[in-house]
Amino acid sequence: MKQRSVLVVLFDGVQSLDVTGPVEVFAGASRFPGVTYELRTASLDGAPVRSTSGLTLVPDTALADAPPPHTLLVPGGQGTREPEPALIDWLRGHAPHADRLVSVCTGALLLAETGLLDGHRVTTHWAFCDHLARTYPAVEVDPDPIFVRDGTLATSAGVTAGIDLALALVEEDHGREVALTVARHLVVFLRRPGNQAQFSAQLTAQTARREPLRDIQHWITEHPAGDLSVEALAARAGLSPRHFARAFQAETGMTPGRYVDRVRLEEARRLLEDTTDGVARIAHSSGYGTPEAMRRAFVKALGTAPAEYRRRFRPSHAAP
């Protein structure tokens, strides 16, 4: 198989996991016969850099001396907030020549500064999606997925999402079995698609301040197959439907319907991943009622049908 070179850019204030996570994935894949990733790290002048956690990372070379890579990986970290102009200049001049350009976490901010993300769909750490979109309006920022592929460009969300993206790249290069084995060795799951949301419904939504509304949030999570209409939830909270809907959105930042949709989707995904229950039973248990209703929800939210979702994320335990 063709050897692929991977160059990881280092700078002061880099997030160490953005570097070591993907590197461990590529290094693990290289233990397979016929699979070779030539890994290099480089800083502007070849000098050691200090990560955000205080770890010192020693690069292999200076960026000016690094040969053109197949895959150029740009990690994130606090050092992306006020980057050295020379680093931006190097990226602007060399990144377009890489066969595959990858950013992890806020590494997308460095690439956006070069103009190379203009017109592309990208993601980054959830806390910086708004900043990226406001500062670089020519970039199409999607805040939800854990990673996004747009042609030869690949961007991931925060920190450990870089591992998910690297596993996806290994699968693309060398097949699913190699990526699965690497994932097992790293004790992670090869089952998070790029379009999986960065947060669950409970984390995306704020926790309501008032106890009746907090109780409703818990009730929804614990009873996804129940009657979760606005009228039923309002009655449980002791409020009129109109007052309940307005209060729920004001305190959680999400309409009751959207919150219910997310909880049901998460429950269905969990059951597909962790059980051998049939699709019809899962549709009932998660509140969709019918397999067709669940299929429509999956296609709309994740871009894939439940059966395909299960095949990808439970390859050795899929139910018929």
Closest among 108, 131, 134 to 121, alpha carbons compared: 108
Chain-centre distance for alpha carbon 48:
29
Q: Are 273 and 310 in contact (CB under 8 A)?
A: yes
Could you list the active site residues? 105
In eight-state DSSP terms, residue 317 is T
Residue 27: enclosing H or E segment and its boundaries? helix 16-29
Cα distances (angstroms) measured from residue 183 to each of 21, 51, 168:
11, 25, 10
Nearest-5° Cα angle at 72, 67 to 75: 130
Please, which residues have CB within 8 angstroms of residue 223's CB and are 6 or more apart in sequence?
none
Pairwise CA distance, residues 21 & 274, whole Å = 25
Q: Give the residue ranges of DSSP H helices in 186-290.
A: 201-204, 211-222, 230-237, 241-252, 256-274, 279-285
The whole-angstrom separation of Cα 29 and Cα 183 is 10
- Sequence-ordered alpha helix ranges (H) in the chain: 16-29, 85-94, 107-114, 129-135, 161-174, 176-185, 201-204, 211-222, 230-237, 241-252, 256-274, 279-285, 291-302, 306-313
- Report, in angstroms and rounded to the nearest whole number, the Rg of the chain calculated over CA atoms: 22
- Rounded Cα–Cα distance for residues 252 and 111 (Å): 34
What single letter denotes the amino acid at residue 121? R
Name 292's Cβ contacts closer than 8 Å, sequence gap at least 6.
none
